Amino acid sequence: MNARTNKVIRVNFAGGILGLIFGSHKGKLESAINKQNADGWNLAEVIPDNPNIALILIRLIFLVLTLGLWTLATGYILVFERPTDHARSVDLSRFSAAPSARLSHLSFESDWAFPSEC
């Protein structure tokens, strides 16, 4: 079974006149993807960000306050994944074969404390 771990990041862009002049959607996406690939993550899915009405109003307020120079622009949500190493993900520090590791002094069937039925 191939277990996978997922990671989600959001890539935002600048809007307004400054976003048109200096913004590079391709460059920002490419640098985000390359950074995650260097850490061992693979791109699984790209989801366009869908803003709600409150976010649209905030963007409009920023645009008016900055006289059209800058606002938040719609970005993307990137979903990355990588295989999970089960041997590394299981915490073995809580397991012990020693009898002193028990939480109580009750006898167990494996201690030969119970009579067997023949």
pLDDT in tens, 65-103: 988 888 888 889 999 999 887 555 555 555 555 555 555
Q: What pLDDT band is residue 17 in, cutting at 50, 70 and 90? A: confident
Mean pLDDT of 27-33: 92
Neighbour-count burial of 78, counting CB atoms closer than 10 A to its CB (0-12 exposed, 13-18 middle, 19+ buried): buried
Helices (H), 12-102: 16-22, 25-38, 53-65, 86-89
For the chain, the maximum distance between any two Cα atoms, rounded to a whole number of angstroms, is 91
